[in-house]
Chains A and B, each alone.
Chain A
C-alpha cells in the first residue's frame, strides 16, 4: 500500500489504495475528508485557526494549508481536481490538544483550531463523522483511501480508535 506522509501545514490526496498519514498532531488539527463513492481521501495538518488574523510575510508565498479557514477549501479543491464530488464528502477531525502543562502552548491554540475547523466544515455543509480532539496528548492520524477507515493513535494513551464511514452517509 502506498503511504503518503502529510507534514505540518501540508495536505495530500490519495485514491483507491493509498494511505495518508500525519504524525504528531499536538495543538495542530488534522482534517480528513473522504468521498466514499470515488474512494478519494484527503488529509490536511492545520497549524493555526485563522489566516485573517495574521500578517502575511511578504517575502513568502502564502501557504493556505497552514490555516483552518483556507486549508479546508484548499483540500476540497485538490480532491475535486482528482474527481471527488464536494457533496459526497464527509469529515473526520483529530488533534487540537494542549501538550505542555503550562499555558505556553499558545493559550488554547488547540481549542481555537478545533473550533475553526468545525466552523469551516459547517459553513461548507460537510458532516463530521468522527472527532477525537482536545486533551493533553498528541495524536497520529491515518486515513485509508480504499476503505475510508480512519485510525487515530497516541503514545500516552496507547489506544487506537477506528472509525469507518457508515454506508449511505454523505453519498450523492
Chain B
C-alpha cells in the first residue's frame, strides 16, 4: 500500500493512540452501564491485505452489530467501527431500554446507534486531543449482519486505491455480561503518515 514503511515504532505509537482512545470510550461505556467494569486488551496494529479484512474480527460468518462513523479533517479520513456480537448485545440493549420494548425495534436500534456514537466519539476526542486536529463526524451507520459482509461493505469505497489496510483493533470485555466488543480504526491511505507526523513520529 502507499503507507508502506510502517515501522515498529509507528505501530507502537498507533497502539498507544488506540489505547488512550479506547480508554476514553470504555469510560463512557462504563458510565452508561452503572459503572460496570470494562477490561481492555492491548491494541493490535496490523497491516492486512484486502482479502483478509473481512476476517479481522474473527469468523466472517458470525452475526454482529456494527456501528460505523467516518471522521474527516482536511485531507485526513478515518473510519471507526464499533463491533458487538449478537445476541449478547441484545441483552445489553434490553437492559438499557424501558420494559416492553423490542431490542431491535426503533428505540433499540436508536439506542445501539447512540452507544456507537458515544464510544466512537470519545475515541475520536482522544485522537483530537493528541493530534490537535478537529474532526468532522458523519452520523453513525448501523448494520446487523455477518461480520464479513459488514467489513466488506465498509472497505468497498476505500478499496479503489488500496490493496491493504491498516487496522487498529482494541478488544473490550464487559466483564459481568461476558460481552466482548471491538473498536476498529481504519485510517485512509494518505492519513496515516499525517497522523504519525502529528504525533511526532520519525
Measured CB to CB, the residues of A under 8 A from B are 7-10, 23-28, 47-48, 53-57, 59-61, 63, 66, 97-106, 109-110, 137-140, 154-156
Contact = CB atoms under 8 A, between A and B. Distances in A.
Contact of B142 (A100, A103, A110, A140): A100
Nearest to A54: B160
A54 B61 CA distance: 29
Contacts of B23: none
Contacts, number: 129
A60 B66 CA distance: 30
B153 to A, nearest CB: 4
Interface of B: 1-2, 4, 50-54, 60-61, 63, 66, 68, 70, 109, 138-153, 155-157, 159-163
Given A7-B54, A60-B1, A27 B152 contact: yes
27 contacts: A8-B50, A8-B155, A24-B146, A24-B150, A24-B152, A26-B145, A26-B149, A28-B152, A28-B156, A48-B156, A48-B160, A57-B1, A57-B2, A59-B1, A63-B50, A100-B66, A100-B68, A100-B142, A100-B150, A102-B140, A102-B141, A103-B141, A106-B157, A137-B145, A139-B149, A140-B146, A155-B145
B47 to A, nearest CB: 13
B143 A57 contact: no
A48 to B, nearest CB: 6
Contacts of B66: 100
